[in-house]
Structure 1
């Protein structure tokens, strides 16, 4: 019995060695295909309930400025009314520059006219910056020689009968051939500084109406004035008169203004809200 047990154990050993030899190549291939594990180090991430907080980058003044401009644009809800952000940003930059320069009165109003839009669209906005409200959104005419439905040509020259782009500050009222009117002082040298000599003013006109558009397919045109609808001109003139900012935008790649200084606008906006 004892010899049989020894023989049996030897047989089992031989079978085990043969099985091991057959398995060795398979085990070796698995080892080679598996990347070596790196040493496990203790970290706060491995601790249950702990959080790893990466240091946050400081918010730059430019990022703050951009965020506040977008916030104001959103709060005014003018995107839905067709006021493009790039036009709004340009107008606000000038408004902040003029505010910093002490050229504006106490009314925190910004009037934007976008002559990049056709005359058949409401392309004038009066914005209450403090209340974050749109006071008026209406039609406005461009100059006779600036174009038909679209304004494409602009001039600062007398008797050009064209609109003049740029930043203006509203002045006082007077009654002229168009009735109640509002004087405008152009501030951009080479673009609108002849406004008063040319009698470029805000006034009402019968040709600024939906009826005129239905009849002719566009608004009528002025001699260069931003003419308003008759049923709104009194309220608009009364609201924006007295040293408020007016910006006339248009498709002119050559236009430039010293009031489009972003550094000044950034310091004014961030400083007033800090």
Structure 2
């Protein structure tokens, strides 16, 4: 009798262990959905709906997340799929979940007219480069106060230093140029900004923030 009771007790202990062996407990959200949830949350809190397409923001945020060496919780996105007559330069503060700048930006003279259709990593091409950049320090050059960029996308923009691709201000990047000419002026490949915003934007994003340019 005692032996039968002992066997019964052991059976009761073993069955639950066997039932749980090899079972994977699925969390409420899968690991693959977590990044999407975070990105959608930032997109919503920064009030980007109607200002920037979600897929564009997702690309930019992914580039930011994957960039080693970033020092600031800032993400700049340049959406070259838009014509130059539309605002397509966005600076997003990811710490405060806030869009802090939204303005015009030029593309290269050999990239196209109102719309950029050709992109290059070649020295002297005078075309715009796409991909992920990391901002560096500032200097005064032929275009005034400028911001050096390091291209991080191999074969796509890693000649940025050799090409002197920098952020700077330009009169041909102002909205007044569009009103007079019907299009925004073009650079030699640099993302040039309106003169009245250039310095404050450069000082905000300099020294280790991410820029993601796409088309």
Q: TM-score, normalised by structure 2?
A: 0.86
Q: How does 1:119-268 map to 2 (within 5 A)?
A: 119-250=84-215
1:108 aligns with 2:77: no
Aligned pairs, how many? 190
1:87 matched to 2:56? The reply is yes
Unaligned 5+ residue runs, structure 1? 1-55, 251-274
Whole-Å separation in 1 of the counterparts to 2:137 and 2:63: 21
SS at match of 1:112: strand
Counterpart of 2:60 in 1: which secondary structure?
A: helix
The question of 1:65 aligning with 2:30 is answered: no
Name the Cα RMSD after superposition.
1.1
Matched, 1:78 2:43: no
2:117 is the alignment partner of 1:117:
no
**Displacement of 1:239 after TM fit?**
0.3
The equivalent of 2:18 in structure 1 is none
The whole-number CA distance in structure 2 between the counterparts of 1:220 and 1:148 is 9
Q: Equivalent residue for 2:7?
A: none
- Misfit runs of 4+, over 2 Å: none
| Higher relative strand content | 2
Offset at residue 71 of structure 1 (A) = 1.2
Q: Specify the SS of the correspondent of 1:135.
A: strand
Gaps of 5+ in 2: 1-25
Q: Give the TM-score normalised by the residue count of structure 1.
A: 0.68
Higher share of residues assigned helix: 1
